[in-house]
């Protein structure tokens, strides 16, 4: 059965172990590139937490001044213990309340089985940063990469998230305090927390990038950039139960007199590489045939059915007989100077009928007629790619033009107007 033979044919087509290792290494590099190092994440989250603490501290000071005994704000409850431990606030009677809020946050984190940082981050994302009426008397500022959502507001409040020297020094204080005083970091939990962090914190785009909508919209757009059509396998399986795959059901619908006059109109996978076989295209578009960077359309490459119609050794010998070395990057400038469909059929004496038989799916009768009865100049003009510039029997492809100087172009008669007209 064909299926069995196909299995045998592909048995030895597999990636080598070396290739798999190479791909694995590449993937590791990509993962590392995406995920910041652990220390950076700790410092980042501590910075966020410290910023929240400062904002909360400012609010508490305000309320403490207004009304002693007021309950700590929601923001104050979201204070990292380690960051708060390193924040020094002069004459702040609310520090004990902050510590109590810290303890509550830790308990909440334990109950939810996430790191306290995750709780902090999630709450920080949801909580409007408080703007103090007057700058708090604090000796600590936090330096972050600007990813804290409330950075601008806090800057208004007189707290600096810039990369100024003073901020960097005090941030170092925070960092050192964290390393000295913090509980041992649970790397696995931190990884989990890192991965659980909403993207709006870890990878939030700059404001102008997300100007089309919320960060959720941005995330959704990014996820869909290479998302194929979702495959609903359950409904597919159901449909399969009643599907009819007999020869009669699967026979193509005849279109006119030729079964190859074109498939039904198809959706394109990619708009610029449309494979539709509708009649508006010249023949069936061969995937190799219409690369505009090549000198010619249709006849540039020798399709397999044509190549395989002659003895392989003779075909290879014929290919090697041309002085031009395509593999090294030499660029041909005329139809007869390199291997292509035209030179192939001339050398091997392939008739027009035979050519149609072999590659009729990619070339029209009119094109075959020109190929066999036209002059070199006529064939060149007929099959020239859109980006090629034809000069009589000569053709200058995109590849030729982009690898030669303006003087070279002028030397062969290509004018600036022609270059402009062809989009160069």
Span 220-279, contacts to another protein by CB under 8 A: 223, 225-231, 233, 236, 239-240, 243, 245, 247, 249-253, 259-260, 263-264, 266-267, 269-270, 273, 275
142's tokens:
């936090």
- Minimum CB separation of residue 406 from another protein in Å reads 23
Q: For residues 385-414, which are near another protein according to CB under 8 A?
A: 399
Total of chain residues touching another protein, rule CB under 8 A = 79
The residue length of the chain stands at: 424
Question: Which of 131, 147, 153, 319 contacts another protein by CB under 8 A?
Answer: 319
**Secondary structure in 3-state letters for 170-208:** HHHHHHHHHHHHCCCCCHHHHHHHHHHCCHHHHCCCCCC
| CA distances in angstroms from 22 to 12, 25, 26, listed in the order given | 20, 5, 6
| CA distances in angstroms from 221 to 201, 225, 229, 239, listed in the order given | 17, 6, 14, 31
- Minimum CB separation of residue 262 from another protein in Å reads 10
Identify which of residues 8 and 183 has a Cβ nearer to another protein in the complex.
8
How many other CB atoms sit within 10 Å of the CB of residue 313?
8
> Residue 289 burial by CB count (10 A; 0-12/13-18/19+): exposed, middle or buried?
buried
Contact status: 111 vs another protein (CB under 8 A): no
- Minimum CB separation of residue 420 from another protein in Å reads 25
Question: Which of 190, 354, 361, 390 contacts another protein by CB under 8 A?
Answer: 361
How many other CB atoms sit within 10 Å of the CB of residue 262?
19
Identify which of residues 67 and 245 has a Cβ nearer to another protein in the complex.
245
Identify which of residues 159 and 362 has a Cβ nearer to another protein in the complex.
362
Identify which of residues 106 and 203 has a Cβ nearer to another protein in the complex.
203
Question: Which of 106, 122, 123, 191 contacts another protein by CB under 8 A?
Answer: 191
Residue 130: which of 96, 102, 153, 97 has the closest Cα?
153
- What string of DSSP letters covers 32-50? HHHSPPHHHHHHHHHHHHH
- Minimum CB separation of residue 249 from another protein in Å reads 8
Residue 282: which of 174, 400, 166, 364 has the closest Cα?
364
CA distance 182 to 85: 9
- Minimum CB separation of residue 135 from another protein in Å reads 41
Torsion 177-84-46-133 (CA) sign: negative
Identify the bridge partners of residue 255 per DSSP, sorted by sequence position. 258
Q: What H or E segment, with its residue span, contains residue 396?
A: strand 394-396
Q: For residues 7-66, which are near another protein according to CB under 8 A?
A: 7-15, 19-20, 22-24, 26-28, 30-31, 34
- Minimum CB separation of residue 30 from another protein in Å reads 5
Identify which of residues 152 and 325 has a Cβ nearer to another protein in the complex.
325
Question: Which of 111, 254, 327, 420 contacts another protein by CB under 8 A?
Answer: 327
- Minimum CB separation of residue 7 from another protein in Å reads 7
Span of 118-126, 157-165, 177-185, 293-301 interacting with another protein by CB under 8 A: 293-301
Question: Which of 160, 307, 334, 374 contacts another protein by CB under 8 A?
Answer: 307
Residue 361: which of 288, 285, 267 has the closest Cα?
285
Identify which of residues 287 and 410 has a Cβ nearer to another protein in the complex.
287
């Amino acid at each position: 059965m064909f299926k069995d033979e196909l299995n045998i044919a592909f048995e030895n087509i597999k990636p080598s172990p070396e290739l798999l290792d190479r791909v694995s290494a590449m993937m590791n590099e990509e993962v590392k590139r995406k995920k910041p190092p652990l220390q950076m994440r700790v410092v980042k989250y501590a910075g966020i937490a410290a910023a929240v603490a400062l904002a909360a501290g400012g609010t508490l000071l305000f309320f403490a001044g207004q009304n002693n005994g007021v309950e700590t704000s929601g923001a104050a409850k979201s204070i990292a213990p380690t960051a708060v431990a390193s924040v020094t606030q002069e004459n702040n009677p609310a520090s004990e309340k902050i510590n109590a809020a810290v303890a509550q946050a830790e308990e909440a984190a334990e109950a939810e089985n996430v790191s306290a940082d995750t709780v902090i981050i999630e709450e920080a994302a949801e909580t409007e940063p408080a703007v103090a009426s007057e700058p708090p008397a604090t000796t600590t500022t936090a330096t972050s990469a600007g990813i804290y959502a409330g950075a601008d507001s806090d800057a208004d409040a007189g707290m600096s998230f810039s990369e100024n020297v003073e901020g960097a020094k005090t941030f170092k204080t925070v960092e050192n305090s964290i390393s000295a005083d913090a509980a041992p970091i649970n790397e696995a939990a931190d990884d989990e927390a890192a991965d659980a962090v909403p993207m709006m914190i870890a990878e939030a785009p700059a404001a102008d990038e997300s100007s089309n909508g919320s960060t959720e919209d941005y995330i959704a757009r990014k996820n869909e950039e290479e998302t194929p059509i979702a495959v609903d396998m359950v409904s597919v399986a159901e449909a399969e139960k009643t599907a009819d795959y007999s020869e009669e059901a699967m026979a193509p619908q005849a279109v006119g007199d030729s079964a190859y006059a074109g498939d039904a109109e198809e959706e394109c996978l990619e708009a610029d590489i449309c494979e539709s076989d509708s009649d508006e295209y010249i023949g069936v578009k061969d995937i190799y045939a219409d690369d505009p960077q090549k000198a010619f359309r249709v006849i540039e490459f020798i399709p397999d059915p044509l190549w395989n119609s002659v003895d392989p050794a003779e075909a290879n010998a014929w290919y090697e007989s041309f002085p031009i070395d395509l593999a090294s990057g030499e660029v041909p400038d005329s139809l007869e100077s390199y291997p292509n469909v035209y030179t192939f059929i001339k050398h091997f004496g392939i008739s027009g009928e035979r050519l149609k038989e072999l590659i009729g799916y990619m070339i029209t009768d009119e094109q075959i007629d020109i190929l066999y009865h036209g002059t070199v100049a006529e064939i060149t003009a007929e099959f020239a790619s859109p980006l090629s510039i034809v000069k009589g029997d000569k053709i200058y492809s995109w590849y030729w033009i982009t690898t030669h100087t303006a003087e070279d172009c002028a030397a062969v008669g290509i004018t600036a107007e022609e270059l402009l007209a062809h989009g160069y």
